[in-house]
Structure 1
Amino acid sequence: MDNKQIAKEIRSAIKKGDIEKVVELIGSDAERLNMMTPFGTWLHVAASRGELDIVKKLIELGANVNVLGGVYGGGALNEAASAGHIDIVRYLLSCGADMDVSGPERNPLFGAISNGHANIAELLIESGIDTNVTYSGESMREVDALTFAKEQGQKEIVKLLESQRGLSTDVTTTNHNGQDRHVEILNHITKHFGPIENTISETVPDSRVSVTIHIIPPSMNKDFVTLVTTGMSDEPMDYSDEERTFKYAELLLKLPLSWIVEKDNMKDQNHYWPFGWLRKVAHIPHLYDGWLEEGVILPNGEPPQPFASNTKLSCVMICRPQESGLANVHTRDEDINIYTFVPIYEEERNLALEKGYEYLLERMNEKGITDVLDIHRINVGMQ
């Protein structure tokens, strides 16, 4: 077998928890043991998958517990902390794993905070991780663990950090970089769709804002998963027309019940692309000094290319929400527009360019097409 096939089989064996197969494939080959993949070393992969026995075996075989790699360029400890595997976090610490705080994306405490793993945050704090280190960047200004936990709404972790410092602060009234506005936005959204179950944070933003995606599960009268952003409205969109009222916006996207939103599936483009594009579109006004409004259509390249191998959808259209009273959030600082993000086909974009955005919406309504993503729906641009 060539290296590519061997790597595929090792990763598959780790995912299945087949320790005997992992040992058989790696053997005494140090190069194979320390092979670097897009997901990091095999230790990174096993730590992120929660395979404690395989983690132990890899370290026994000589795997470097502190080698850097993976999506965030950190250690296996960071992968385990982010994924919520406290038994692996505890074991890696016992093996001398560094609690790397060189950057927010490598910091295991930030990983635990991002995903709401309070038990792991507590373990890291007890183990002496530096909770006072601060990070600054284009959209981060002196952000430490406590500030980050408040921004993410992780109340239990906030209490842990405040207890460590002997502080007492009400997270709901803390105002840091507009986070009180985020709370107002989310309060508005949850009135329509229900409580937030999880968040996907962005610790290394590539523009003036840091966009967080909040996930709201289905409810009795909402048979879809709702994604909503915060952070896009931290900075105004660039408007050449000063008469325009709304310079601030956030985005909303609805996924079908069948959509897989677990972290383990986010590396699969067929599952991840709605999340990636939601974040990408939220950054566009700040990266290119432009703006988004109802009727704007953004293609995936030119000519537009399908977002993933399992669909021919290739463009996104910005629409007003269907829900009454959802479109505008009146915060204490600014009025914010909520726009629904609707993926469409290239032929539908062409139809909108020819006959107008409202005409396309009418045709979609006639065919019973809703704003819930359907990767196999009919193409009204070809009807």
Structure 2
Amino acid sequence: MDSKQVAKEIRSSIKNGNVEKAAELIGSNIELLNMMTPFGTWLHVAASRGKLDVVKKLVELGSNINTLGGMYGGGALNEAASEGHIDIVRYLLSYGANMDTNEPERNPLFGAISNGHVNIARLLIESGIDTNVKYSGESMKDIDALTFAREQGQLEIVKLLENQRELRTTITEVNDNNQDDHDEILEHVTKYFGTIQDTIIEIVPGNKVSVNIHIISPSMNKDFVTLVTTGMSDVSMGYSNEESEFKYAELLLKLPSSWVVGKENMEDKNYYWPLEWLRKVAHIPHIYDGWLAEGVILPNGEPPQPFALNTKLSCIMVCHPREFGLDNVQVEQGDITIYTLVPIYEEERNLALEKGYEYLLKKMNEKGISDVLDINRINVGL
């Protein structure tokens, strides 16, 4: 078959949801995988058609989820949001898809609003899409998401956006009141790891709190990058009287010194997933009205899926820090517990479920596994 016929066959197999046929036609040809058609890349085609299994296979083969193209000139996320395929929107977000707001046509929230997809609008808002960006042009002037939803008569989405705006105002007031506590937390942590080099601010709050991630570069004594949160402890976790010591918490995660942390790699899932999960775990107690404690293990889906293409790690384990005294900070609102997050394999989670969290820690210690992320370390659960 010539190239035109191959492309036609691939598109036909995607439309029919024939994963095996599409994969067979593409093979290991990266150029063919990411070729640009009038409808965008094959990922755009699969996303717009609602073919989740094909989307997963294309991502597995190495398709770039953030390539621009298609009817709206945006990413595959925009196609899925506009067409109402929430399962694909959720999947692409889990793999670090950009919520592109550079142009209204490329904005997935505007796509969801245009077509009345309330659940997708809710998911995008909860995932932190910028709802304040305003657009001006020939057909619009200073139009943000709320104004657009009103113009489109999407009353349910209008209510979502109004509630989010009220929540953001409340959180801003809470953050202002808690800044002194944040400073005390950071002062405590920097005694162990060094000074803060940079901060990634959560512009759009998630649920009840806004979680910021602070970055501490490696030093002579600490050959790793330290990430620490503030904001999680602004609101207490759900807890019972017996577990009152777990009322407030912040999180810490260690990356190898070679790990690149910065705005330039925010679009690369292979680098960004530890930051994404640090923030995700920080929000879990407030979203689900529960609490975190030592030994809790959180899987990336069920069954657990690898966090990125370059590792088989798929779960996060909550641990007490190895540094003596680090885990407790006393501030005005109460004691704050600091936990270290340690990525583990699915088999290690199963081992912990079978024999206990402490047994898994013992096995990891015996193999010399530290709490610094190593995407290729041995798996003690095998």
Give the TM interval when normalised to the shorter protein: 0.5 to 0.7
Higher helix share: 2
- For the pair 1:36 / 2:74, whether they are aligned, the reply is yes
TM-score w.r.t. structure 2 length?
Answer: 0.60
3-state SS of the aligned residue for 2:245?
coil
For the residues of structure 2 that align with 1:319 and 1:261, how far apart are their CA atoms?
23
**Mapping for residues 75-224 of structure 1, pairs under 5 Å:** 136-141=165-170, 143=172, 176-224=176-224
**1:184 alignment partner, SS class:** helix
Q: Distance in 2 between matches of 1:243 and 1:34?
A: 51
Report SS of the residue matched to 2:252. Answer: strand
The code of the aligned residue for 1:265 comes to N
Asked whether the 8 Å contact 1:198–1:215 carries over to 2, the reply is yes
Secondary structure of the residue that 1:285 maps to in structure 2?
helix
Q: Specify the alignment match of 1:272 in structure 2.
A: 272
Cα 1:230–1:72, aligned 2, differ >3 Å: closer, same or farther? farther
1:379 is aligned to 2:379? yes
- Letter paired with 1:300: N
Q: Which consecutive unaligned segments of at least 5 residues does structure 1 have? A: 11-30, 41-65, 75-94, 104-134, 152-175
1:226 aligns with 2:226: yes
Other-structure match for 1:357: 357
Structure 1 residue matching 2:285: 3-state secondary structure: helix
Q: Distance in 1 between matches of 2:290 and 2:371?
A: 25
Q: CA RMSD in A?
A: 3.5
8 Å contact kept, 2:196–2:214:
yes
Q: Which amino acid aligns with 2:194?
A: G
Partner Cα distance (2:336, 2:294) in 1: 13
Match of 1:311 in 2: 311
CA offsets 1:76-115 (integer angstroms, 9 cap, x no match): xxxxxxxxxxxxxxxxxxx9xx997958xxxxxxxxxxxx
Aligned partners of 2:246 and 2:293 also within 8 Å: no
Change (3 A) 1:222 1:69: farther
Deviation, 1:355, is: 1.1
SS class of match (2:251):
strand
Q: 1:184 to 1:139 in 2, by over 3 A?
A: farther
State the 1:289 CA deviation.
0.7
Deviation at 1:179, TM superposition (A): 1.4
Change (3 A) 1:101 1:226: farther
Please give the per-residue CA displacement for 1:334-383, whole angstroms capped at 9, x wherever unaligned.
1000000000011111111111111111110110000000000000111x
Q: What is the deviation of 1:206?
A: 2.8
| CA pair 326-100 structure 1, distance change in 2 beyond 3 A | farther
Secondary structure of the corresponding residue to residue 36 of structure 1: coil
Match of residue 240 from structure 1:
240
Q: Report the Cα distance in structure 2 between the residues aligned to 1:276 and 1:142, rounded to whole angstroms.
A: 20
CA displacement, residues 119-153 of structure 1 (integer Å, 9 cap, x when unaligned): xxxxxxxxxxxxxxxx943243385xxx89xx6xx
Partner of 2:10: none
Task: Provide the residue aligned with 2:366 in structure 1.
Answer: 366
Structure 2: 5+ residue runs without aligned partners? 8-31, 41-68, 79-101, 111-136, 146-163
Q: What is the CA–CA distance in structure 2 between the aligned matches of 1:353 and 1:262, rounded to whole Å?
A: 36
How does the TM-score come out when normalised to structure 1? Answer: 0.60
* Aligned residue in 1 for 2:286: 286
Give 1:67 deviation, angstroms: 3.6
Partner-residue secondary structure (3-state), 2:166: coil
Deviation at 1:36, TM superposition (A): 3.0
1:38–1:70 contact (8 Å) kept in structure 2 = no
Q: How far apart are the structure 2 equivalents of 1:101 and 1:242? A: 50
Residue number in structure 2 paired with 1:5: 35
Question: How far apart are residue 34 of structure 1 and its match?
Answer: 8.0
Over the matched positions of the two proteins, sequence identity in percent amounts to 62
User: Aligned pair 1:259/2:259, yes or no?
Assistant: yes
Q: Does structure 2 retain, via aligned residues, the 8 Å contact 1:138–1:209? A: no
